[in-house]
Amino acid sequence: MYPNDGFRELERPECLRLLAKVPVGRIVHTRQALPAVLPVNFTLDGDGAVLLRTSAASELARLVDGVVVAFEVDEVDAATHSGWSVVVTGPAMVVTDPAEHERLIRTGPRSWVPSPREVFVRIEPELVTGRELVAGRSLYGVQLAP
């Protein structure tokens, strides 16, 4: 987050609560030395880790395994100039433990594009940040123009 930008900073527990409300987020990673952003459905694990499910043959699984990524979710109301944004930053790893994989088949996210062989990607929540703008009023007390 950026200090003094007029948004209210959200604490980690509030960020995780908001994350759990939204079914789709964006994973930010590097592809061919450039930033790449991909919308994905997800769930949160009990420890706050972000879980994705994708084809074992997907480029996404290959590109993010073992590297630090960002994962962003938000909810915005353009009419009232209000909303929030949460970013989780941490290492992403393809789940390779068979017992963990079986647990996630039962409890993890369901793929919106199922494939014959799927893997789970876990993003460890090393840094969780969020910010909120309520009803178009910044922390400076200045009302946004209608």
Say if residue 13's pLDDT is above 60: yes
Mean pLDDT of the 98-117 span:
91
- CB-based contacts of 70-78 (< 8 A; 24+ apart in sequence): 70/27, 70/28, 70/29, 71/25, 71/26, 71/27, 71/28, 71/42, 71/123, 72/25, 72/26, 72/28, 73/18, 73/19, 73/22, 73/24, 73/25, 73/26, 74/22, 75/18, 75/21, 75/22
Mean pLDDT of the 104-123 span:
91
pLDDT of residue 103: 95
Residue 21, class by beta-carbon neighbours within 10 Å (0-12 exposed, 13-18 middle, 19+ buried)?
exposed
pLDDT of residue 146: 55
- Whether 45 and 51 have beta carbons less than 8 Å apart is answered as yes
pLDDT of residue 77: 86
Handedness of CA 86, 89, 90, 93 (dihedral sign): positive
Place of tokens 């972000």: 50
Say if residue 106's pLDDT is above 80: yes
